[in-house]
Amino acid sequence: MTASVLVLNGPNLNLLGTREPDIYGSDTLDSIEAACQKRAKDLSLTVEFRQTNNEGEMVDWVQEAAGSHQALIVNAGAYTHTSVALLDALLAAGLPVIEVHLSNIYQRDEFRQKSYVSKAADGIICGLGGLGYELALEALAQRLGTLKEA
Ligand code: DQA
């Protein structure tokens, strides 16, 4: 069995590679996506990767995912800490959600230590850079049972 996972990335994550590399590392979003596509194959998952700098677009994508994907991985960037609209969309979608952050948000500014997304997340991975996305895929493969014999 296979399942489809939508990976959503929020504002400024398009700048990965050059954006504050001391905090976010040198991986680009493209290289993270490539690693995820590779890992997804081994896990019998298909992955669709998206990035937006617009909150409303992210909400639209979560709403659409309910009819087209079986799970979500969400790095909402700064919207993590501000967006009740995104939280509401995630709760309404009712899909398994893994929240990912490249940095360890709990070691950073106080305002980054509150996550609205967490209220809708089945699990949270932070502080492991791009590897966190791959680990989230593994967790979803277990959760969705894609590794079981047909
Ligand atoms: C981030 C952490 C957020 O606080 C920040 O606004 C980001 C990236 C992370 O992946 O570590 O844009 O989500």
The CATH number for 88's domain is 3.40.50.9100
82 part of a folded domain = yes
The answer to whether residue 101 is catalytic is yes
118 part of a folded domain = yes
What is the C-alpha to C-alpha distance for residues 35 and 144, in angstroms, rounded to an integer? Answer: 20
Number of domains making up the chain: 1
91 part of a folded domain = yes
Q: pTM surpassing 0.85?
A: yes
Cβ neighbours for 139, distance < 8 A, ≥ 6 positions apart: 98, 122, 123, 125
14 part of a folded domain = yes
46 part of a folded domain = yes
Distance 77 CA to ligand 1 centre (A): 4
Give the closest residue to 27 by CA, choosing from 37, 17, 13, 14.
Answer: 17
Per-residue pLDDT of the chain (150 residues), as tens digits, is 789 999 999 999 999 999 999 999 999 999 999 999 999 999 999 999 999 999 999 999 999 999 999 999 999 999 999 999 999 999 999 999 999 999 999 999 999 999 999 999 999 999 999 999 999 999 999 999 998 765
Q: Which residue's structure tokens are 């360890």?
A: 104
Using CB distances shorter than 6 Å, the residues near ligand 1 are: 12, 75, 77-78, 80, 101-103, 105, 112
The answer to whether residue 133 is catalytic is no
Could you tell me where the DSSP H helices lie in the chain? 21-24, 29-42, 55-68, 84-93, 131-144
In order of 41, 66, 145, the CA distances from 149 in angstroms are 15, 26, 9
For residue 95, the model assigns a pLDDT of: 98
Distance 111 CA to ligand 1 centre (A): 11
Domain housing 10: 3-144
26-33 contacts at long range (C-beta below 8 A, 24 or more positions apart): 27/129, 27/130, 31/130, 32/130, 32/133, 33/7
- Whether the CB-CB separation of 2 and 43 falls below 8 Å is answered with no
Pocket test of ligand 1: the residue of 80, 100, 109 to mutate, having most ligand atoms within 8 Å of its CB, is 80
Query: Of the listed 69, 79, 101, 116, which one is catalytic?
Result: 101
For residue 149, the model assigns a pLDDT of: 62
Q: Which two tokens mark 116?
A: 């609205």
150 part of a folded domain = no
149 part of a folded domain = no
Distance 58 CA to ligand 1 centre (A): 15
